[in-house]
Amino acid sequence: MQLVCLDLEGVLVPEIWIEFSKRTGIPELSRTTRDEPDYDKLMKYRLGLLKTHGLGLPDIRKVISDMGPMVGARDFLDDLRKDYQVIILSDTFYEFAMPLMAQLGMPTLFCHKLEANAEGFLVNYHLRMPNQKMEAVKRFRQINFKVIAAGDSYNDTAMLAEAHAGILFHPPQNVIDEFPQFPVTMNYAELRAEIDKASARV
């Protein structure tokens, strides 16, 4: 039994916070863990900015639904799901991702959850568990799935290492240099070919 696990942001959809920052004209929302390594502080900063700018959950969903998936992502995913069971593993939040999931044909998504108050403003976030991408792959292996995983960035590498086969998709050069054990793909045709090669191998 084989299972393909894909990261979401940078593989199927744009980096949500960065794209959201561009579309709302709020540059401070583009801060990432490179700028603020304390994730809890970063998330509370983001939630405060959203409230300051009067952006409630309906406004946020509207902006995100206008982003759309990456070019070719829906066709790639539809084709992949004909031959493999596919699960999306992401560190985003359901409340952000669902408008994009609808445009991708509602694939299965494991991620985290945001909390909104009665006025619709986001007030807190809840991680499903630490290192959830890697832990999910570990559990899939424990129930006898052969797992092929693909992601684009440093925070995907633990998931890739835990899988029977890990693949990088359009990664930055520093990730390529630091993790030479993973094959590098730069477009969906290459990614599909590498998944098929791994499928024959694992």
Q: For residue range 140-167, list pLDDT tens digits in order.
A: 999 999 999 999 998 899 999 999 999 9
Query: CB of 26 within 8 A of CB of 49?
Result: yes
pLDDT(33) > 80: no
Residue 68: pLDDT band by 50, 70, 90 thresholds?
very high
Query: CB of 147 within 8 A of CB of 138?
Result: no
Catalytic residue from among 7, 19, 152, 162: 7
Helix, strand, coil percent content, the chain, rounded in steps of 5: 50, 20, 30
Active site residue 7: yes
* Residue 84 pLDDT: 97
Dump the DSSP string for 88-151.
Answer: EEEEEEHHHHHHHHHHTT--EEEEEEEEE-TTS-EEEEE-SSTTHHHHHHHHHHHTT-EEEEEE
**Domain limits, the chain:** 2-13+72-112+127-201
31 versus 8: which is more confidently predicted?
8
Active site residue 190: no
State the chain's mean pLDDT as an integer.
Answer: 94
Q: What is the mean pLDDT of residues 168-190?
A: 96
C-alpha–C-alpha distance, residues 117 and 122, integer Å: 6
The pTM of the full predicted model, rounded to 2 decimals, is 0.92
SS3 state of residue 59:
helix
pLDDT(191) > 80: yes
C-alpha–C-alpha distance, residues 144 and 107, integer Å: 21
CATH class of 2-13+72-112+127-201: alpha beta
Query: CB of 94 within 8 A of CB of 102?
Result: no
Query: CB of 5 within 8 A of CB of 160?
Result: no
On the CB side of 97, CA atoms within 13 Å amount to 26
